[in-house]
A = this chain, B = another copy of it.
Amino acid sequence: MSPRSSDGPSGGSSRGSRASGRPTLAELARIAGVSPITASRALRGVASVDPDLARRVREAAAALNYVANPAARTLASAHSDAVAVLIPSLSNLLFIDTLEAIHDVLMPRGLEVLIGNFHYSPEEEEKLVRNYLAYQPRGILLTGLEQTPATRSLLKASGIPVVYMMELSREAGLHCVGFSQEESGAAVARHLLARGRRHLAYVAAQLDPRALERGLGFQRVLAAEREVRPPVWLSVPEPSSVALGGELFVRLLEAYPDIDGIFFCNDDLAQGAIFEATRRQVPIPGRVAVVGFNDLPLSAHMAPRLTSIRTPRAKVGEAAARRLVALMEGDCRAEPAIDLGFELVERESS
């Protein structure tokens, strides 16, 4: 017998008197009149349990408001019901839309969503991956393809399904859901050229890998045109904001008075530029055309309405989560890369 603890009147074990007060599987099983393992099987719906017993277990569970202890479950089964999602920023509306879609897919399936913010730093991402791996998640969703080698090998070693969001990889077997950032930049360039613009600029704040890709796509198309000079490239390290967009707009036009078309790396900057232009009575698109990226809700309502690239950010979250679920269930026949495309929404600002 245990060296301590004669079974007291309360039947308590030696260990802190079950402070939680929640029923255990053993109690549930006793009430349902079955063994704990049968109760466990019944609740999980695994293996074949007599339908009558299963019903009794479910009824007892409902009566007791029984909820399994996830820690015990994870420890015993060597995997949790969590999915880790790493995003580079919480303050960027863009990722919130994605996050919400992910939630909507995963939570109804009883999966917990662990959110990590790596602030655009691959090193921080690595640290987060290391930590989340300790939770033995069922799957991981990552944003972008800029992982450190250590992150990649950690993930590979873990054997846990991973889906990459927002970019498309040419690497074989990498499950990714997104669209071509490079192509979207190219599309903007073609649009501005078609509108007769010849002196173009790319403006970005806190250049992340995807914004860079877009800028490169923009550049590529312009480089192919004989009578068009390469775009002015203005990029600052501060975080993006509406106010900053206005500032950069002014700074750019002062430095390069002949600019007649600007591609901002996101809508926040572009909106700020339009507000500032309105204030200074710079005609848009008369004097200069403005194009944003993301198509935030407000962009369609401004004056002038903002031309932008509509990104499928909610769809990315949904498709990535669905793919992850499929992988978790061992169902991975589908094409690894899912290209959700983008749409250039032409409005008054260009």
Chain B CB within 8 A of A37 CB: no
Binds B, one of A108-116, A199-207, A228-236: A108-116
Contact of A113 among B78, B115, B131, B246 (CB under 8 A): B115
Binds B, one of A64-72, A215-223, A329-337: A64-72
Q: A20-B136, A78-B20, A91-B97 are in contact. Are A130 and B301 (CB under 8 A)?
A: no
* Copies of this protein in the complex: 2
CB-based contact A271/B298 at 8 Å? yes
Nearest CB in chain B to that of A67: its residue: B134
Binds B, one of A189-197, A248-256, A272-280: A272-280
CB-based contact A22/B134 at 8 Å? yes
CB-based contact A80/B71 at 8 Å? yes
Interface residue SS majority, chain A: helix
Cβ contacts under 8 Å, A75 to chain B:
69, 71-72, 75
Q: A90-B99, A134-B69 are in contact. Are A298 and B78 (CB under 8 A)?
A: no
Residues on A facing B (Cβ under 8 Å): 16, 19-22, 65, 67-75, 78, 80, 90-91, 93, 96-97, 99-100, 103, 107, 112-115, 117, 130-131, 133-136, 157-159, 241-243, 246, 268, 271-272, 275, 278-279, 297-298, 301-303
Top-3 shortest CB links A-B: A71-B74, A67-B134, A275-B301
Q: What are 26 A-B contacts with C-beta separation under 8 Å?
A: A16-B78, A19-B78, A19-B159, A20-B78, A20-B136, A20-B158, A21-B158, A22-B134, A67-B130, A67-B131, A70-B135, A71-B75, A71-B135, A90-B100, A90-B103, A91-B97, A107-B117, A112-B114, A241-B297, A242-B297, A242-B298, A243-B301, A246-B301, A271-B301, A278-B303, A303-B303
Beyond A20-B136, A69-B134, A275-B302, list 17 extra A-B contacts (CB 8 Å): A19-B159, A21-B157, A22-B133, A71-B72, A71-B135, A72-B75, A90-B96, A90-B100, A93-B93, A93-B96, A103-B117, A107-B117, A112-B114, A243-B301, A246-B301, A279-B303, A303-B303
